[in-house]
Amino acid sequence: MFRKEALDLVDGYDVRYRRHHDDSDICQRMRTSGWQTHYVAESHCISIQEDTLKELAAKELRESYWYSPAESSLILLYLHLSKWTFVRAGRHILKSRFYFILVTVATWASALWTATFRTLRSSFNLCGEAIVNTPTDAVRTFFSSGMDALVFGSFLLEK
């Protein structure tokens, strides 16, 4: 909780910290302006932000350091996200926050769906075959497909 005068003095929240560290930023600016700040461990605050399920899933993937199927293992992502989903669901049950379990599970499912879809989309060539592994495979697939051009680094191969 903040006094209105203190909030006005520091010009309110900084939009650059909208989702992360906004509380520590505003407390630091208030402390610098001469106001006292206190941490009360027993206090309880639930922040319902205007995040969509897609944004929550993207955040979950970022925080799991999963950016693309080429850089990370999908199986390890499944294990990591599943473990933390169970931990969060257990925490919600212990704290009687049953209404958050649905959001936690929906975020988990959306993140896994997004990662799975990206992996499947990038794992096959035009013919539905496994993605090419060598330049020879790429040229062979190119000539047997309906593609008109193939870019190889800085080279352009046309039929």
**Residue 36 within any structural domain of the chain:** yes
Residue 3 domain-assigned (yes or no): yes
> Domain range for residue 27?
1-45
Q: What is the DSSP letter of 154?
A: T
Residue 2 covered by a domain: yes
Asked if 60 and 107 touch (Cβ cutoff 8 Å), the reply is yes
Q: What does pLDDT average to in each consecutive run of 10 residues of the chain (159 residues)?
A: 84 72 82 86 63 84 80 85 92 88 91 84 57 72 77 77
Query: How confident is the model at residue 83, as a pLDDT?
Result: 93
Residue 33 lies in a domain: yes
Query: Which pTM does this prediction carry?
Result: 0.50
Strand (E) or helix (H) holding 150: strand 149-152
Number of domains in the chain: 1
* pLDDT, position 86: 93
Residue 37 lies inside a defined structural domain of this protein? yes
> How many whole angstroms separate alpha carbon 55 and alpha carbon 111?
10
